[in-house]
A and B are shown apart, each in its own frame.
Chain A
């Protein structure tokens, strides 16, 4: 069978110990392990030490703070818990949907929201065994010097494949990062960079402790739409988070803001631009569907980094966006 490289595992019960252990050169964090362990079996890295966050109970709380206007979700909350939590479902239905669509029930029971946010980028030429990669001479992300997706490319375009990240970004969420030097809060929108080798601004000594999602201040409608070949287990091949803020709590109300974030393009989620032009239009105005779909299609260009032809996936983006908006409008 595929074996893990030889490594030690530490299971600290508090964050300070975890941070201290993380100072070990080459140490990596493991939360649910559903992403890093397969990757290590593929020898995408051989860390001497895994610092497990599983025993740190502090990371597993979901706390609503109306005064601060935020829902604080511990990074160690599992995807199943996220998708089933009553307040998450009530306040952020698109987040509950996205978390509930990750992989399969068993993986969602292990995988955490913090882990899903920090999911490594994926590529058909990277997420293979080391034997397979050696047969193609590796690539920018795995011991080689070329990119097999963009011929001649110097920049890794492995795909952001998290279901939850586009949604969190559309909701204006931010991440709380702890390091031995203190705590900082980074908006999800600023957390990701366009580099498949390392697509976040997380420093090696930092741990994501919390996801903070601002409580809605206006009526809104949100959706997450994902396409994959199978109804379970697959990573998204197409992934869009949508958010429509409304003046009043009805679909005929005027839009006050529109946010659309698309995943599975390159290493960074793409926030679709020029949507502010829709402000003031009624949400159920058919022009809204048309305008959003057009902008998504114009601005998002899938690559051959994941299976199924990129031109097909591009053609499908506006289709899925149209359907998602139509469903929101129809739901009233």
Chain B
């Protein structure tokens, strides 16, 4: 990769025929017609069904497990318990703190303790119920501060090295205390994000099969085939080359399928024990227990400003509620601070984050991993400052803009940066300048900005190999086969590679087969997380495609006796750029190239730059090849009598570098804004401490995600600031656009009715209480009427 991005901003060739256009996703027709085969649609001869027995206690020692009654039932083939999986694992190699099934202790209501394989699902359910588990019930801890205080007396996770402290990070850049002391204005705030889950429509499902030669195949609804492959190998004690992991088409993931889960180990082990294929499909309730959703965070922020609105220092103290296991928690703890330093210049910055174990379903990554919560705090702080200083909140953000080719206070190197354009686009589209001052009491506009990574420069387990690789094979029929390790989880990664192949080689999308995420067929890719795929897999694909284009162009050029640079591959044809009458079918061009080169195959790979971060411990975590930028304006109507917040519009401007496929980018932007909107207003992933820590409602009736009717008008405004490190300049578009949703709505509520919602979700009772508290203060004359009471 070139090192001076200013001189190498990617420009699109005038002959671009696919990049930036609207495409039908490669699997769209199958999905729409209902014929796509998801994991649960797979059935093998002789297949057994598994069921996992789960702990009804939030914290309990397992004294004994007696499976004799279950095993005596007709149709029951095998039972496994924690003793069958003694090796602990964890997605982060430094924190292996969970077993496939609980070995000594169950750590939350729903923790798996045994699994059974039976002739059908009904028999498996009955058999699981017949397994007798004796528990010694221990005192559960649901509050992270209490958990930290009881590290010595009541440690939760037996593998934990520091009691109930799962991870602690304290980093300071510049002199924060001096900055705060010198500031003209200091905003102090305490924010609470209550916790949400992904609610992907497809529940987790896994199927395992053992070939007669001992090869084990696992099909799983995962978004990280490769890490699953590694952990299966480790826990089952099977060499990786004896294991095959296949990811069938997914019905959503959002981060909820980005690490191994109990069912994958259980189906593999049960298949090995019984010699039969075994499948487990989670119930919706089990999906809520598997969780790995967005961490609850209590965030105490102090932000210092100059009188003209510049950020001189930011000080963040965060307590993170991790649940029973580490999951990605080490990274989450870093991200809770490391990703808050852009898109703004700040004089100094310090964060102190502690993640605690509690007796709840483990938290992990959800769309915008670790940084959606601090973004809420950061952006509301800015809004409070704007009000205090009398500066327009968009203008205040402009004044603090980092700009392109810059460096954050924590030493991340930023390449392209379209944040100012994002602000301008939402400002114009929402009619901010004309309308904001005229909206009556009860209606308001709110702004928030954000940034996100396009993958991380350092992989989860240390290695120097490429992070992504793609193989492309052409043949004389004129088609292309693309072998991509990337997990398409609905975000369109298979379409993305097809678009690049099409652009470079002239093959129409209909003639491109993308084979993805099958460890026997496709190269290793690290998976669908951290918004890494478009940049990393895209670059790998582009490299392979360019190599092939060179071969094909040369073969054509040789036969036409022109320089290869004059050969264009476009729209199923090869043609002479300077004499377009000279053209052949693409199949003929491939034929000639195959004559010259033999089988037309090329590989491409991508590795990340390793010079884009600061030289301090932890400085690599959160460093990315390129950063996306987003701004939202939300328009709300708040009912002051009921506290109901009706979000009318969200304008989303997102700098994705380059939109390779426009509709898919817009879809990601809308989906992100929708998801953040749901988290802002109604979603609550909580347990009930008054009832022994049971989940407050593990169903889609009780865990409310917005319906179509509840969803605001979403306006996607694509901003393109091409980055030298992305394919055609592309950066991410799948997670960044979520971040401003929550603070933009919070700030809009303030604009509407003059109350600060510093705790999520903004449910009617909470909003109403805040309005009543303000009304009481107005009545005593402490504060004046918001918007002069103008209705």
A binds B: yes
The residues of A with any CB-CB pair to B shorter than 8 Å are 1-3, 6, 104, 124-125, 127-129, 131-132, 134-136, 148, 227, 229-235, 307-309, 312, 315-316, 319
Cβ 8 A contact of A1, one of B281, B643, B691: B281
Q: A135-B109, A230-B710, A233-B707 are in contact. Are A309 and B765 (CB under 8 A)?
A: yes
* A125 CB → nearest B CB, Å: 8
CB of A232 within 8 A of CB of B692, answer: no
Q: Cβ of B768: which chain A residues have Cβ within 8 Å of it?
A: 312, 315
CB pair B764 A230 closer than 8 Å:
no
CA distance A136 to B708 in the complex (A): 34
Q: Are A124 and B710 in contact (CB under 8 A)?
A: no
B56 touches A135 (CB 8 A): yes
Determine the chain B residues whose CB is within 8 A of the CB of A235 once the complex forms: 701
Contact B765 A312 (CB under 8 A): yes
CB within 8 Å for A316 and B283 given contacts A131-B56, A230-B710, A233-B701: no
Chain A min CB distance to B766 (Å): 9
- Nearest CB on A from B125, distance (A): 6
CB nearest neighbor in A for B55: A135
A230 near B694 with CB under 8 A, answer no
B728-771 near A? 1/0 per residue, CB < 8 Å: 00000000000000000000000000000000000111001000
- Enumerate B100-142 residues with CB–CB distance to A below 8 Å: 109, 121-122, 125
Query: B122–A234 contact, CB under 8 A?
Result: no
Residues of A within 8 A of B203 (CB): 1
**Per-residue CB proximity of B693-722 to A under 8 Å, as 1/0?**
011011101101011111000000000000
Helix, strand, loop or mixed for chain B's interface? loop
Contact A230 B709 (CB under 8 A): yes
Are A136 and B691 closer than 8 Å at their CB atoms? yes
Count A-B contacts at CB 8 Å.
78
B residues adjacent to A (C-beta < 8 A): 54, 56-57, 109, 121-122, 125, 203, 281, 283-285, 641-643, 682, 691-692, 694-695, 697-699, 701-702, 704, 706-710, 763-765, 768
Q: What residues of chain A lie closer than 8 Å to B701, measured between beta carbons?
A: 127, 233-235
Known: A6-B122, A312-B764. A131 touches B54 (CB 8 A): yes
| Inter-chain contact A129/B283, CB cutoff 8 Å | yes
A-B contact pairs, 7 of them (CB 8 A): A1-B283, A124-B697, A127-B701, A129-B283, A132-B695, A229-B682, A231-B710
User: CA–CA, A117 to B710, complex, Å?
Assistant: 27
A148-B642 in contact given A230-B710, A307-B697, A309-B765 (Cβ < 8 Å): no
B764 touches A148 (CB 8 A): no
Nearest chain A CB to B58 CB, angstrom units: 8
Q: Residues of A contacting B764 with CB < 8 Å?
A: 229, 308, 312, 316
A3 to B281 alpha-carbon distance, docked (Å): 12
* A319:B641 contact, CB within 8 angstroms: yes
Query: Chain A: which residue is nearest B704 at the CB level?
Result: A229
CA distance A312 to B768 in the complex (A): 9
Q: Pick from B641, B698, B765: contact of A308, CB below 8 A.
A: B765
Contact of B57 among A135, A148, A230 (CB under 8 A): A135
Residue of B at shortest CB range from A231?
B709
On whether A308 and B706 interact (CB within 8 A), knowing A3-B122, A132-B695, A233-B701, the answer reads no
The smallest C-beta distance from B153 to any residue of chain A, in angstroms, reads: 25
Q: Please give, as numbers and ranges, the residues of chain A lying within 8 Å of B284 by CB-CB distance.
A: 2
Partner of B694, one of A2, A3, A136, A308: A136
B707 surroundings in chain A (CB, below 8 A): 104, 230-233
Q: Is the CB of B285 within 8 A of A129?
A: yes
B357 to chain A, nearest CB (A): 20
Q: Is the CB of A128 within 8 A of B697?
A: yes
Residue of A nearest to B205 (CB): A1
CB distance from A64 to the nearest CB of B (A): 33
Residues of B within 8 A of A127 (CB): 701
